[in-house]
Structure 1
Amino acid sequence: MDRGAIRRRLAVGLAVLTAAGLIAVAAPTQAQAAAATRCEGRKVKTYPFSTGTLYVYKKSGHVCAIVTPRRPGRQQTMMVSVQAFRAKPVTDEGLYTRRAGPVTVHAGQRCVWVKGRVGSGSVSKGWILC
């Protein structure tokens, strides 16, 4: 094999290793970003209201909630809150285009109070999942 062929093979091998390294570094970041945009577990409640919908999920004693607007795309005030019985609420509030949340609390076997708001419409469901 001549020197040119060896150099080409080394260059191809280096390019493959570099690409594999970049994929290995980027994949966990993408997985974390995807996990941060949704709740883990199974959907246990759906509460539609005039301007959006509040979704409640549960997994292994953790309760998670997300609120989505009826008409996504334009920036508007949104809020989602989950409070386990005898604990402080966890809230996400701000100007969003697609959703507020997810917010998660460890409730164990305790009841939770969920709230959601999009613009002027809101929902508050009292103590649920008892």
Structure 2
Amino acid sequence: MDSGAIRRWLALGVTVLTASGLLALASPGSAQAATSYCSGRKVRTLPFSTGSVQVFKRTGYVCAVTFPKTHGARKSMSVSVQARGGRPVVDRGQFAHHAGPVTVHVGHRCVRIKGSVGSGSVDSGWILC
């Protein structure tokens, strides 16, 4: 192999590594993180000004996780899931990456999801009926 061929192979290798690194940075981290916290399929994303709540459902259960728009410093976050006729299950505190997961057995009842990050919040009302 001559030196020109070696340079071309090295350039190709650097290009592939750079492209894979950029794709890894561009992929949505919160969606991948939520799937590791909640089992089942994602049924809703509830966006709000300072973050979002991702909602997952599997046979008879609903799971929710709140993610901030910006990660890093600890901030006040919460997530709650309430089956109709039951009490809400809440995770609230100062978190850097997420609040939750919170999982509730809902059977075939409607569910209410709430989430907040700092001053922003969302309330789904009764959904998944």
TM over 0.5: yes
Distance in 2 (CA, whole Å) between partners of 1:95 and 1:85 is 28
Gaps of 5+ in 2: 1-32
2:66 paired residue number: 67
Structure 1 residue 92: Cα displacement: 0.1
Aligned length: 96
Gaps of 5+ in 1: 1-33
Distance in 2 (CA, whole Å) between partners of 1:57 and 1:50 is 21
Spell out the pairing of 1:103-118 with structure 2 (5 A cutoff): 103-118=102-117
* Aligned Cα root-mean-square deviation (Å): 1.5
Moved over 2 A (4+): none
1:99 paired residue number: 98
Larger Rg: 1
Distance in 2 (CA, whole Å) between partners of 1:80 and 1:105 is 12
State the percentage of identical aligned residues. 57
1:40 paired residue number: 39
Q: TM-score, normalised by structure 2?
A: 0.72
Structure 1 residue 46: Cα displacement: 0.3
Spell out the pairing of 1:1-130 with structure 2 (5 A cutoff): 38-130=37-129
